[in-house]
Amino acid sequence: MKILKTDQVQLLDKQTIDNQYISSFKLMERAASKVVEILKDRHKLYHNSFVIICGKGNNGGDGLAIARLLKEAGAFVKVYLHQNKKYTPDNSQNQEMLDDRGIKIEKFLPSKHNIVIKKDDIIIDALFGMGLTEAIDSEWKQVFDLLNTAVCQDRISIDMPSGMFADIATANDSIVFKADMVYTFGSPKLALLLPESAQWAKDFTVVDINLDEQTLSSFETKNYYLDKAIVKELLHTPTKFAHKGIFGHSLIIGGSYGKIGAVALASKAALSIGSGLVTAYLPKCGYSILQSTISEVMCLTDNEADYIRLFPETDSYQAIGIGVGLGQNADTVKGFAAFLKDNTNKAMVFDADAINILASDNSLLKFLAPGSILTPHPKELERLLGGWTSDFEKMELVKGFTAKHNVVVVVKGAHSEIVLPSGDIYFNSTGNWGMATAGTGDVLTGILTGLLAQGYNSEHTALIGVYLHGLAGDFVLEDKHPHCILASDIINKLSSAYKEILNLE
Ligand SMILES: NC(=O)C1=CN([C@@H]2O[C@H](COP(=O)(O)OP(=O)(O)OC[C@H]3O[C@@H](n4cnc5c(N)ncnc54)[C@H](O)[C@@H]3O)[C@@H](O)[C@H]2O)[C@@H](O)CC1
Ligand SMILES: [K+]
């Protein structure tokens, strides 16, 4: 799914109105009724009352229409409207419709208001949406403080949390509504996908309002929301003549004393995603552990007992994943550098200490084979790139890195960002907070290595792998609370993830 800029969203709304021969009022009505349908699932309408705070524009128009439709559905609503000289035509029309139905609209000024929030209320924020052009003025502070701190049942924003920009950074000290849930129209807005926005948008749901497909497909973008449709297109379907040779041989290099489990997880994940064969290369201390943990994995050991000094030959393998549990012993670091220089044509998956070693000696980066995949978590990324002042700046830094080294970077997080050498970014849509636990990164490394081994190119590997990893994590939630997820649970649900994408029972 494409992520659109503000001007594209505005043009798309306009083209939808033109091409579908509908009025802008009708489109607003469509948007409002979709939100009300979703609200009926989220809340028992009769148990709470909805306090709807509306602005002067079409975001406020949405709020007014939602108020009317909620009232018609039997809910108790209280409507506040920003007092203004001018409203958009659809906003005005919705005000009249509320008047006609005897639903009172209480007008307020930011500096003088009598908004009351009770503990059973659900706040709906429809003050500013995609029309926000500048930071909200300080005269609004007391209104937002009240809305953000009052005890209530739920805080919902329409389209965007008011005060938050959709595709540029919003300053940390800005006046912004703090939403538990944002119902955003058409496609996710870029800012909703970035970690720094979590303070204002805990979660979001994309509300499909049947915007014009033809216009949508004509838009150019560098940013995508990685969904099932994209991944389904990329997956190969093997024939009955397949044999283990064509599914490739993966090599997982890693492990040090006390961190052999990381190699076990990555190796098992590589097998489970479909690599035909998997060999693990680790220090001697890991041999018995690995052999007794996973029967299907072959094992090669270094001469050292507790860490890796000499790295293996790679000719027999279609894919290599390196770094899980590796440690940073001085001999390991030296061996790793020599290994990189010997393998400048072999695209690999780099994780954990492999990334830390690259970060501590930038001169090694020029030896990365084109198409390599790096999977840093935020701390590792910071070591690799230095700091940044906002997530928007971070994106630009990562794009510079992927272009310069011709590699793919997966920035791990709630919506992991897959950054391609072209500068295209895919934000993952699967996964949950329970996956922020030990070993899930090792599992991802194994998945990516196993996909590379099957002949997927690096870009497709990263897209398929990150999506399946998150989806498998979502399947774990069917029988576990997020707190209880183990990395190995994710491996056990990879099959369900595959089946879901391929629509198999
Ligand atoms: N255009 C359409 O057909 C549709 C629009 N929809 C809604 O319309 C919204 C956009 O509506 P609008 O373009 O009217 O804009 P908004 O309702 O988001 O904002 C209202 C107005 O506030 C003013 N403004 C901007 N920044 C301000 C600030 N810091 N302080 C005070 N005033 C400020 C601007 O003049 C802007 O036009 C979307 O977010 C969505 O909720 C939906 O109804 C779907 C259809
Ligand atoms: K809003």
3 state SS for 366-423: HHCCCCCEECCCHHHHHHHHCCCCCHHHHHHHHHHHHHHHCCEEEECCCCCEEECCCC
Beta bridge partners of 239: none
Domain boundaries, the chain: 22-217, 230-501
For 408-505, where are the E strands, in sequence order?
A: 408-411, 417-419, 425-428
Enter the DSSP assignment of 4.
Answer: P
Q: Are 488 and 265 in contact (CB under 8 A)?
A: yes
d(CA 442, CA 487): 8
* 61 appears as a binding residue in the annotation: yes
Q: Report residues whose beta carbon is within 6 angstroms of any ligand 1 atom.
A: 13, 24, 27-28, 31, 55-60, 62, 88, 128-137, 158-159, 185
Nearest to 2 by CA among 234, 195, 230: 230
Distance between Cα 70 and ligand 1 center (Å):
21
Three-class SS of residue 89? helix
Measured in whole angstroms, how far is the alpha carbon of residue 385 from the centre of its chain? Answer: 21
Nearest to 268 by CA among 430, 445, 416: 445
The protein residue whose alpha carbon is closest to atom 9 in ligand 1 is 59
Per-residue pLDDT 10s for the chain (505 aa) are 999 999 999 999 999 999 999 999 999 999 999 999 999 999 888 778 999 999 999 999 999 999 999 999 999 999 999 999 999 999 999 999 999 999 999 999 999 899 999 999 999 999 999 999 999 999 999 999 999 999 999 999 999 999 999 999 999 999 999 999 999 999 999 999 999 999 999 999 999 999 999 999 999 999 999 999 999 999 987 776 666 678 899 999 999 999 999 999 999 999 999 999 999 999 999 999 999 999 999 999 999 999 999 999 999 999 999 999 999 999 999 999 999 999 999 999 999 999 999 999 999 999 999 999 999 999 999 999 999 999 999 999 999 999 999 999 999 999 999 999 999 999 999 999 999 999 999 999 999 999 999 999 999 999 999 999 999 999 999 999 999 999 999 999 999 999 999 875 4
- Does the interface predicted TM-score (ipTM) exceed 0.90? yes
Q: How many residues make up the chain in this entry?
A: 505
102: left (phi over 0), alpha (psi -120 to 50) or beta: left
Q: Is 0.80 surpassed by the pTM of this model?
A: yes
d(CA 474, CA 454): 24
Nearest bound ligand to the CA of residue 110? 1
Residue 60 Cα: closest atom of ligand 1 = 17
d(CA 334, CA 9): 52
d(CA 107, CA 100): 17
Domain covering 230-501: architecture: 3-Layer(aba) Sandwich (3.40)
* 41 appears as a binding residue in the annotation: no
Distance between Cα 157 and ligand 2 center (Å):
5
- Residue 499 tokens read as 């089946």
Strands 417-419 and 181-185: unpaired
* List of residues 6+ apart from 404 with CB closer than 8 A: none
CATH of domain 22-217: 3.40.50.10260
Residue 16 Cα: closest atom of ligand 1 = 3
* List of residues 6+ apart from 464 with CB closer than 8 A: 231, 234, 235, 451, 456
Nearest to 437 by CA among 412, 400, 466, 403: 412
245: left (phi over 0), alpha (psi -120 to 50) or beta: alpha
d(CA 496, CA 505): 9
* 412 appears as a binding residue in the annotation: yes
Planar angle of CA 473, 193, 466, nearest 5 degrees: 35
d(CA 142, CA 120): 21
Distance between Cα 126 and ligand 2 center (Å):
4
